[in-house]
């Protein structure tokens, strides 16, 4: 039987042949660009290895990490790759292998009981949870599509009816609590059922995948794993509902980039299949280009090293360069505008999707079309309507074009994976994390730590407010640490200005400012952060102004979670000879108090060193302020928590108060030459000059004599509003929320 190519792809290959003969980018592997051909060859070697060994289809019994789990997991990529090899090389042995493997699954699948582990709200058959069965079906559907027309009708019928139709029904009709949610699990389920439906030409399955199981056919009290009711008021479910409800209009995913990266796979793979076979749905432009926005939102939530910002329950180190993100970059390029900056990401990934998108990307990389990837400052609104706060990213470039990136989080809670971290920030540069977000307390796939699942310290520590760089009032987490309260409320963006206005004399400043008036009773928190670049500083400087407004005197704790080792302070402190936990709840029970001290003047300075770079934070202080040097580890007998350091600025007995600080990145040190360069910071004389409900004024200087004044409008976020404010007899006038003015030298 002759293999058939989709007409579109055939045209693509013809064009490619022409392009390759012109640019001589071809290699032994047919007429593909050489980088693509190398990957095809590596795939061939891997699949040939499995063909030589023979496919194994063991009776499922193990949890994630166990042998049967890992074998079936490896099978899904082998079967997908075998299909791709047949499609791209035309060699029939790959189609034969794939057919035989699917027949082997068809022999046993219907006879398998539910997975014996019974540990999930939706137990699978091949794996311990339906989610992994859906992963399997998404990828194997791709391979099956590649050989479908080649198969003899009798084999096709057997595989359709004894493997794939029962599997699609199992993942949907038999597990509606898995299939009919608005959740990334269900997106996988919807995509799996729809992709196999498209391959088999089964319109009923495609319909079920797009719109869910009709609500009328479900029991009223059906619940998901968070006890959420599956039949909601509107009764929407299915792939289109996921597209409508999973993302904000900006493409932000409420659980954060770590989960977005995972959730995007089924959106992109099923989206691509629907674009080919159901052009009437216009899926690639659905909801004002929501898939494009989601893809670019993911690509823009990474630090200068490419690691995703570890917001909410994130596993640190997941990156733009992870294998799973290859299709995000390739499809972003191929389907959404051919942005040449994406080619430089693809180049660094060094891998391509084994399809027309990957061919196009590798061809354009080889043709030298890549442009530098230079992400810019931006904000993402959260919530399905874009009305539930969001996340803001400021990026500034210093000496040697080194990037500094700041993230402030003023988003909605982010469902069960959310953290109580309103107005928390984290800071990154080319070395990675500078001021860190803890991420999740979980060792993904590391069996020794709770089998790789979330650890109990994820709730008792990682989600708590004190684990974040934001204000804690009365040693209590935001929303009392209760998700039921947090889910109903959120902060709001106050101002975002990244066009470098609001500054003078060669300086540039980018502002991000947000407010929350419901994290604590009768209290408004307002944080304004500025990334400031000026010739006097080699790298961008972070200016942080945090106002807390209330009527009752409370205890304020403002932690700074730095990386590295403390070098010096300009105040005395005493270290403890005996360690005690800092508190008894809301994460404080996990903190050892290592040292404490009180600053004497109106400001305090703490310097530290990390990855060959020096940092100095200067903070405005008041009489009575105290610094606490802390570290997780208390009530952690299994060493589940990282022992990273922080200092907490503690202020007692204030009803309304303002914190201001300047963080400077400076100098370098080489252990090879043993020569420190610029080990001391340059910021001097930080002070809060004025602080009223309407305006806040901060001043700081450089040791060379230059001084700056930062003016902030606290109650009018109109960018066109003009403000007048007199400080110590000097009148100032400016337009917009912030103004950064050089006042001397």
**502 and 509 Cβ atoms separated by less than 8 Å:** yes
Place of tokens 């935001």: 478
Helix 257-277 and helix 286-299, axial crossing angle in degrees, nearest 10: 140
DSSP characters over 284-318: GGHHHHHHHHHHHHHHTSB-TTSBBP--SS--TT-
Q: Which is nearer to Zn ion, 332 or 462 (CB)?
A: 462
Could you tell me which residues come within 8 angstroms of residue 236 by beta carbon, excluding any fewer than 6 positions away?
Answer: 182, 212, 244, 245
Residue whose structure tokens are 């902060």 = 491
**Minimum CB distance to Zn ion smaller for 181 or for 419:** 419
Among 259, 286, 373, 438, the one annotated catalytic: 259
CB of 312 to Zn ion, least distance (A): 6
- Total residues contacting Zn ion by CB under 5 A comes to 3
**Window 406 to 425, contacts with Zn ion (CB under 5 A):** 419, 421
Strand partners, 307: 319
Only one of the segments 45-53, 265-273, 433-441, 526-534 lies at the binding site for Zn ion (rule: CB under 5 A); that segment is 433-441
Q: Is 586 in the site for Zn ion (CB under 5 A)?
A: no
Q: Which is nearer to Zn ion, 421 or 557 (CB)?
A: 421
Q: How far is the CB of 186 from Zn ion (least distance, A)?
A: 25
Residue 231 CB neighbour total at 10 angstroms: 17
- Distance from C-alpha of 693 to C-alpha of 434, rounded to nearest angstrom: 32
Q: Name the minimum Å distance from CB 464 to Zn ion.
A: 9
Considering the complex, what minimum distance in angstroms separates the CB of residue 441 from Zn ion?
10
Stretch of 45-53, 145-153, 430-438, 501-509 lying at the interface with Zn ion (CB under 5 A)? 430-438
Q: Which residue, 419 or 682, is less far from Zn ion as judged by CB?
A: 419
Smallest distance from the beta carbon of 439 to Zn ion, in angstroms?
6
Residue given tokens 């995972």 in the structure block: 262
Contact letters for Zn ion, residues 29-48 (x by CB under 5 A): --------------------
Distance between CA 123 and CA 114 in Å, rounded? 7
Binding span for Zn ion by CB under 5 A among 113-121, 122-130, 429-437, 522-530: 429-437
Buried residues in 51-62 as b, exposed as e (16+ CB within 10 A): beeebebeebeb
DSSP string over 456-488: HHIIIIITSGGGSSS-EETTB-GGGG-HHHHTT
Tokens, residue 654: 């204030």
259 is catalytic: yes
Nearest distance from C-beta of residue 435 to Zn ion, angstroms: 13
The verdict on whether 468 is a catalytic residue reads no
Cβ atoms of residues 182 and 246 within 8 Å: yes
Binding residues for Zn ion restricted to 435-474, rule: CB under 5 A: 437
Of 140, 139, 204, 220, nearest to 172 (Cα)?
Answer: 204
Q: Within 212-310, where are the H helices?
A: 239-245, 257-277, 286-299
Question: Is the CB of 162 or the CB of 437 nearer to Zn ion?
Answer: 437
- Closest to Zn ion by CB, 437 vs 544, is 437
SS3 content of the chain, % helix, strand, coil (to 5): 35, 25, 40
Which residue number has the CB closest to Zn ion? 419
Stretch touching Zn ion by CB under 5 A, among 176-184, 186-194, 432-440, 595-603: 432-440
Q: 310 or 681: whose CB is closer to Zn ion? A: 310
Choosing from 69, 72, 115, 417, which is the catalytic residue? 417
Q: Which is nearer to Zn ion, 437 or 605 (CB)?
A: 437
Contacts of 553 (CB under 8 A, 6+ apart): 653, 654, 655
Minimum distance from residue 468 beta carbon to Zn ion (Å): 6
Cβ-in-10-Å burial (0-12, 13-18, 19+) of 686 comes to: buried
Minimum CB separation from Zn ion for residue 608, in Å? Answer: 21
Give the binding site for Zn ion (CB under 5 A).
Answer: 419, 421, 437
What amino acid positions are annotated as catalytic residues? 259, 417
């Amino acid at each position: 039987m002759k293999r058939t190519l989709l007409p579109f792809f055939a045209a693509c290959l013809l064009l490619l042949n022409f392009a390759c003969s012109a640019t001589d980018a071809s290699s032994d592997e047919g007429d593909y660009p050489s980088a693509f051909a190398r990957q095809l060859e590596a795939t061939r070697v891997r699949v040939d290895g499995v063909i030589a060994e023979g496919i194994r289809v063991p009776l499922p019994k193990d949890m994630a990490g166990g042998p049967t789990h890992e074998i079936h997991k490896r099978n899904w990529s082998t079967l997908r790759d075998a299909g791709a090899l047949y499609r791209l090389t035309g060699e029939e042995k790959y189609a034969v292998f794939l057919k035989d493997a699917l027949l082997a699954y068809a022999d046993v699948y219907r006879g398998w009981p539910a997975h014996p582990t019974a540990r999930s709200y939706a137990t699978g058959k091949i794996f311990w949870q339906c989610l992994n069965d859906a992963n399997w079906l998404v990828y194997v559907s791709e391979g099956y599509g590649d050989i479908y027309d080649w198969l003899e009708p009798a084999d096709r019928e057997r595989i359709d009816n004894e493997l794939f139709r029962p599997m699609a029904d199992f993942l949907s009709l038999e597990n509606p609590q898995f299939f009919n949610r608005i959740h990334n699990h269900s997106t996988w389920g919807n995509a799996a059922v729809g992709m196999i439906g498209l391959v088999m030409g089964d319109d009923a399955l495609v319909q079920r995948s797009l719109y869910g199981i009709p609500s009328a056919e479900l029991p009223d009290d059906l619940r998901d794993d968070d006890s959420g009711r599956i039949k909601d008021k509107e009764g929407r479910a299915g792939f289109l509902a996921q597209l409508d409800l999973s993302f904000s209009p900006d493409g932000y995913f409420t659980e954060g980039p770590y989960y977005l990266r995972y959730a995007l796979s089924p959106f992109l793979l099923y989206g691509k299949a629907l674009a080919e076979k159901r052009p009437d749905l216009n899926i690639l432009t659905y909801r004002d280009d929501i898939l494009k926005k989601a893809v670019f939102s993911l690509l823009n939530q990474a630090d200068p090293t490419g690691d995703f910002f570890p917001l909410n329950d994130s596993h640190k180190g997941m990156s733009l360069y992870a294998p799973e993100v290859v299709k995000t970059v390739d499809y972003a390029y191929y389907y959404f505008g051919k942005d040449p900056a994406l080619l430089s990401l693809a180049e660094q990934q060094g891998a391509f999707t084994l399809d027309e998108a990957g061919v196009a990307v590798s061809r354009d990389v080889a043709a030298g079309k890549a442009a530098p990837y230079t992400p810019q400052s931006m904000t993402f609104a959260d919530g399905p309507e874009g009305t539930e706060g969001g996340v803001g990213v400021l990026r500034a470039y210093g000496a040697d074009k080194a990037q500094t990136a700041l993230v402030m989080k003023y988003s909605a809670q982010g469902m069960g994976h959310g953290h109580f971290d309103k107005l928390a920030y984290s800071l990154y540069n080319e070395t990675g994390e500078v001021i860190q977000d803890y991420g999740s307390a979980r060792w993904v796939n590391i069996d020794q730590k709770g089998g790789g699942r979330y650890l109990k310290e994820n709730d008792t520590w990682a989600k708590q407010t004190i684990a974040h760089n934001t204000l804690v009032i009365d040693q209590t987490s935001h929303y009392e640490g209760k998700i039921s309260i947090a889910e109903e409320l959120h902060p709001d963006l106050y101002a975002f200005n990244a066009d470098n206005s609001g500054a003078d004399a060669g300086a540039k400043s980018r502002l991000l400012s947000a407010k929350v008036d419901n994290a604590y009773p009768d209290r408004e928190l307002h944080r304004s952060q500025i990334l400031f670049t000026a010739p006097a500083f080699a790298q961008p400087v972070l200016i942080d102004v945090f106002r807390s407004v209330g009527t009752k005197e409370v205890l304020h704790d403002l932690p700074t979670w730095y990386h590295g080792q403390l070098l010096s302070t300009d105040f005395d402190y005493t270290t403890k000879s005996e360690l005690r936990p800092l508190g008894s709840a809301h994460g404080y029970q996990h903190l050892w108090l290592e040292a404490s001290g009180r600053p004497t003047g109106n400001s305090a300075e703490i310097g530290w060193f990390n990855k060959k770079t020096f940092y100095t934070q200067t903070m405005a202080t008041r009489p009575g302020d105290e610094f606490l040097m802390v570290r997780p580890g208390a009530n952690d007998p299994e060493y589940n928590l990282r022992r990273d350091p922080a200092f907490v600025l503690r202020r007692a007995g204030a009803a309304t108060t303002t914190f201001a600080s300047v963080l400077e990145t400076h100098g370098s040190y080489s252990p090879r030459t043993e020569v420190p360069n610029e080990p001391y910071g340059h910021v001097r004389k930080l002070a809060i000059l004025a602080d009223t409900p309407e305006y806040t004024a901060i001043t700081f200087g450089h040791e060379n004599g230059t001084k700056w004044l930062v003016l902030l409008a606290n109650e009018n976020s109109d960018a066109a509003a003009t403000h007048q404010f007199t400080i110590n007899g000097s009148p100032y006038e400016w337009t917009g929320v912030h103004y950064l003015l050089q006042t001397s030298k």
